[in-house]
Structure 1
Amino acid sequence: MHKPPTYKPFGNTAILIEWQAIISEEILNDIILFRDKIQKEKSTLIADFIIGYNSLTLKYTNEISNYSDETQQLQSIYQQDLKRQQTEKFLWEIPVCYDLEFGIDLRELSEKSNINIEKIIKIHSKKIYTVFFIGFLPGFLYLGGLDSRLYFDRKPNPRLKVPKGAVAIGGKQTGVYPQESAGGWNIIGRTPIHFFNIKNENPCFAKAGDQVKFKAISLDEFYQTEKEITENKYLISKKLLND
């Protein structure tokens, strides 16, 4: 059983709530449950909830007048025995092309790890990852569950341009760049899926607590899927999970 969270002011209009500094699905579930409890009690007072690996930041609509009183209220809410709402969670299947045209760091990682490229792809695409939070860029999913054989340090000199859709490994994490940006993760493939679209009701289709599985596809399949997405003929495969 993990320790209860701690609280600290985060400017005049926010409170940072922190759990133990570990990546844990138990802690993630506790964070999501606490967020749901707060939403039930203070929905009109909180402008935004920001989830991290081991934190929940509350951004208030107005300045916090009495931090001590507010913290005591939050601690009381945390202790409430509230039955978890049946929140919809999904397993998203994301097609990824690991062809060397896209997986530009695969050879280097293979040499460093003494694992052949085919096995790296198999290890990476076999796992089911948990979405812990969204950050760095809009739609950038921080995924937990990477096989320890694929832990690779970030590059000492980040690239100035990492292409949109690049699937990469950074330290003990894997993720997908939702747009072109600078980045120091090791690129092992690319997906044609759009992870962030401001025009959609939910700009990012996934949320904290969801799961992701990567499906290896060929170069031809990549371009065919890309075409279907452009023509609005492609739906991301998803499976409803029991909460």
Structure 2
Amino acid sequence: MLSSYKLTYTRFSEQSILIQWPEKIDPKILKDLLRYKENILKYSKDTIQVINTYNALLLAYNTFELDYKNEIERLKSLRNKVIASKPLQSKLWKIPVCYDVKYGLDLEALAAAKNCSIAELIQWHTEAVYKVYFIGFLPGFLYLGGLDNRLIMPRRQRPRPHVLKGAVGIGGEQTGIYPNASPGGWNIIGNSPITFFDPESEHPCFANAGDSIQFVAIDLVGHAAIIERIKNGNYKLESEVYDG
């Protein structure tokens, strides 16, 4: 079933085509986009990579002899193969986060700005189910949608030159986790002890676009215990099939 979204097809480079949806963050657009991506990969022999963002697909081809006009017409025909009722394979991942002030460097300032308690902030952050829209910026950085409006907070005026691996932050209308130590301008509210990107793994990032994330609060002892279990190779991240 063809969706009602009006898409634009643009020659992006000598070897790529950009397909764009309306410019907004919308889970319905994400579902439509991921179904289309699945069809393109299934029916395209010359496509070597399909990268998605909030509302676009970038198709990179392995040939310099691409007939753009014919290829765009072929891509449009694949829209008719997108079946709206077909379920997308997705998972809900339970991500442990320690919200102790040891790691939550901006917890107190954020609570003061929102005129609420730290406990309320943690509750709002852990109650939501977040959608993974795409992965980028840093390897394993999950772009999430679904932040509670009460937690919206502008980025810090002065970014920190260094935030810890696993730092959980809020920046504007988004929340996310720094998969590696890096500079960062988001408001840091906690830390997750798990690994978000492992280049030696068959699947370097455990999550995919279309999956969902829910944060689970743990204390300092639990945080240290998970780090130890990961070192010993006996920790497995919880997940379940999810239809949301």
Separation of aligned partners in 1, 2:139 and 2:86: 27
Between the aligned partners of 1:172 and 1:86, the Cα distance in structure 2 is 28
| 1:72 Cα offset (Å) | 1.4
What's 1:16 paired with? 18
Q: Distance in 2 between matches of 1:60 and 1:160?
A: 37
Alignment RMSD, CA only?
Answer: 1.6
Which residue identity lines up with residue 21 of structure 2 in the other structure? W
TM-score with structure 2 setting the length:
0.94
Query: Which residue is 2:127 aligned to?
Result: 126
How far the C-alpha of 1:242 sits from its partner, in A, is 4.0
* Residue correspondences, number: 242
Q: Match of 1:149, as an amino acid?
A: R
Q: Percent identity?
A: 41
Q: Does the Cα contact within 8 Å between 1:131 and 1:143 map onto a contact in 2?
A: yes
Aligned to 2:36: 34
Is it true that 1:231 corresponds to 2:232 in the alignment?
A: yes
CA distance in 1 between partners of 2:178 and 2:78 (Å): 36
SS at match of 1:10: strand
The offset of 1:161, in angstroms, is 1.0
Pairing 1:201-220 to 2, within 5 Å after superposition? 201-220=202-221
Cα distance in structure 1, aligned partners of 2:87 and 2:21: 23
Shift of 1:6: 0.8
1:199 is matched with which residue? 200
1:80 shift after superposition: 2.8
CA contact (8 A) 1:38 1:74 kept: yes
Q: Retained in 2: the 8 A contact 1:195–1:205?
A: yes
Q: Counterpart in 2 of 1:168? A: 169
Give the residue type in structure 2 aligned to 1:130. K
The alpha-carbon deviation at position 9 of structure 1 amounts to 1.6
The 8 Å contact of residues 130 and 213 in structure 2, kept in 1 or not, is answered as yes
Output the amino acid matched with 1:239: E
How many angstroms does 1:85 deviate by?
5.5
CA distance in 2, matches of 1:12, 1:162: 38
Equivalent in the alignment of 1:105: 106
Unaligned residue ranges in structure 2 (runs of 5+): none
Contact 1:14-1:64 at 8 Å conserved across structures: no
Q: Which residue of 1 aligns with 2:142?
A: 141
- Hey, what does 2:5 align to over in structure 1? 3
Contact 1:2 1:20 survives alignment (8 Å): no
User: Could you say if the C-alpha distance between residues 57 and 211 of structure 1 is closer, same or farther in structure 2, counting changes exceeding 3 Å?
Assistant: same
**Alpha-carbon deviations, 1:150-177, whole Å to 9, x = none?**
0111122221111100011111111111
| Amino acid in the other structure paired with 2:207 | A
Distance in 2 (CA, whole Å) between partners of 1:79 and 1:88 is 20
Displacement of 1:86: 4.9
User: 1:46-125 counterparts in 2 under 5 A?
Assistant: 46-63=47-64, 65-82=66-83, 86-125=87-126
Distance 1:82 1:146 in 2: 29
Given that residues 39 and 82 in structure 2 are in contact (C-alpha distance below 8 angstroms), is that contact kept between their aligned partners in structure 1?
no
